[in-house]
């Protein structure tokens, strides 16, 4: 599923350069970017809490997440900054924000929710992933982690409330209120303390750390994102729906309960998108179609999960994180050298994938795989 989602996201971004006319016709009917990331979020919801509960140790969970996410992230960020120095790529304008604020915000992975523009556009989804990690740990420490269906339902209903009551906040509402620098400083300190306390042996410290991480994470999604409040809440609801499916599959909940949860999340997501007023029927249609197809894709994946999967497809899933993070760097090189096509060129689109996928095999083998080996060694030493 992750492999398919990664390819669709790559097509969405690369089509700007190579198939712009086709993209203009497609996206109003089918928002390819939202399709890909919703599949990603459903899969994350399915596997991340299971990883935490299988280990039963918050410290090991954070070690695993850090070594899974940061090494490739650091390599990609370094590559972008190097390309900028060489004149082959342009980084985004951070306005009046200091370098320290930008660096710290990105190190937390919450930059999308802290009022700091993303160095790479695709990094915005990692902020929602990190918020989900913090909420998952919070529920685990206060022993409510098996209430995934209730959490998903609550978040989905809140999404509808936020859009139907007219409670639409401007982007970065908290940052405008307290200042981006202070918010980044407070959030980063709270995050470090939360992770350390939640990883402690003391039950009191674990609960304190979980709550200290989870409550601000939910607050940032609700009051300080760049996407509409309803969509941020839908993203969290979708991830917890993935968790609810995992629980039903493992006998921790019933499929009937999960089906009801899925129906509520689907209805609330579609309803929120419909009520969200940007004046463009086709934009809403593209989002709704993408969302429904993402859920159907996840359902199809569940239906065939016990069957033999083609090796090339599982291999694509293995390198999906590299595909997701590396493709903007390759696009920057392409834009800085050959430029963008005036007419659609399927040949260049195919050539882009032909270069990207072998490159991602290399980044997986030499960055991702070794870092995961190190994380397993560290977690083994903890036990």
pLDDT at 367: 96
pLDDT at 92: 78
Q: Could you please report the per-residue DSSP string of 299-342?
A: HHHHHTTTSPPPHHHHHHHHTHHHHHHHHHHHHHHHHHHT---S
Residue 8 neighbours by CB distance under 10 Å: 22
Going by C-alpha positions, the residue among 64, 185, 183, 234 that lies closest to residue 133 is 64
93 CB contacts (<8 Å, ≥6 apart)? 117
Element holding 227 (H helix, E strand): none
Q: Tokens at residue 312, please?
A: 């090339």
pLDDT at 166: 67
d(CA 85, CA 220) in angstroms, rounded, equals: 33
Q: How far apart are the two ends of the chain, measured CA to CA in Å?
A: 32
Q: What is the CA radius of gyration of the chain?
A: 20
Spell out, as residue ranges, where the chain has pLDDT lower than 50: 282
pLDDT at 34: 94
pLDDT at 152: 97
Question: What does the chain come to in residues?
Answer: 383
* DSSP letter assigned to residue 342: S
308-331 burial string, b = 16+ CB within 10 Å, else e? eeeeeeeebbbbbbbbbbbbbbbb
d(CA 75, CA 93) in angstroms, rounded, equals: 21
d(CA 138, CA 146) in angstroms, rounded, equals: 12
d(CA 46, CA 194) in angstroms, rounded, equals: 24
CA angle, 271 then 122 then 115, to 5°: 80
pLDDT at 278: 59
d(CA 39, CA 239) in angstroms, rounded, equals: 10
Domains in the chain: boundaries:
2-382
């Amino acid at each position: 599923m992750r492999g398919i989602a990664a390819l669709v996201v790559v097509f969405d971004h690369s089509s700007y350069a190579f198939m712009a006319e086709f993209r203009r016709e497609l996206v109003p009917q089918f928002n390819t970017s939202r399709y890909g990331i919703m599949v990603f979020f459903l899969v994350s919801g399915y596997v991340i809490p299971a990883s935490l509960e299988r280990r039963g140790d918050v410290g090991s969970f954070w070690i695993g997440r850090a070594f899974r996410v940061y090494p490739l992230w650091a390599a990609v960020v370094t590559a972008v900054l190097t390309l900028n120095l060489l004149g082959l790529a342009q980084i985004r304008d951070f306005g009046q924000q200091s370098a320290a604020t930008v660096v710290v915000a990105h190190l937390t992975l919450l930059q999308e929710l802290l009022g700091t523009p993303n160095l790479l556009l695709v990094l915005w989804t990692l902020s929602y992933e990190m918020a989900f990690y913090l909420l998952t740990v919070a529920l685990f420490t206060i022993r409510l982690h098996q209430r995934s269906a209730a959490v998903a339902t609550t978040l989905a209903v809140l999404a509808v409330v936020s859009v139907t009551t007219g409670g639409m906040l401007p982007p970065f509402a908290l940052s405008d209120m307290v200042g981006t620098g202070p918010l980044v400083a407070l959030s980063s300190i709270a995050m470090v303390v939360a992770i350390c306390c939640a990883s402690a042996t003391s039950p009191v410290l674990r609960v304190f750390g979980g709550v200290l991480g989870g409550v601000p994470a939910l607050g940032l999604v609700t009051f300080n994102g760049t996407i509409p409040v309803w969509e941020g809440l839908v993203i969290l609801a979708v991830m917890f729906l993935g968790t609810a499916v995992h629980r039903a599959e493992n006998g921790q909940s019933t499929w009937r309960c999960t089906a009801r949860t899925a129906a509520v999340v689907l209805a609330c997501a579609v309803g929120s998108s419909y009520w969200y007023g940007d004046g463009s029927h086709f934009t809403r249609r593209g989002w709704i179609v993408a969302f429904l197809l993402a859920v159907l894709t996840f359902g199809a994946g569940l239906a065939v999960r016990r069957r033999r999967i083609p090796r090339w497809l599982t291999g694509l899933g293995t390198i999906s994180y590299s595909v997701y993070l590396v493709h903007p760097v390759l696009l920057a090189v392409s834009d800085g050298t050959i430029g963008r096509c005036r007419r659609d060129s399927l040949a260049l689109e195919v050539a882009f994938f032909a270069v990207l996928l072998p490159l991602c095999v290399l980044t997986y083998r030499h960055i991702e795989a070794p870092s995961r080996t190190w994380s397993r060694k560290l977690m083994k030493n903890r036990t």
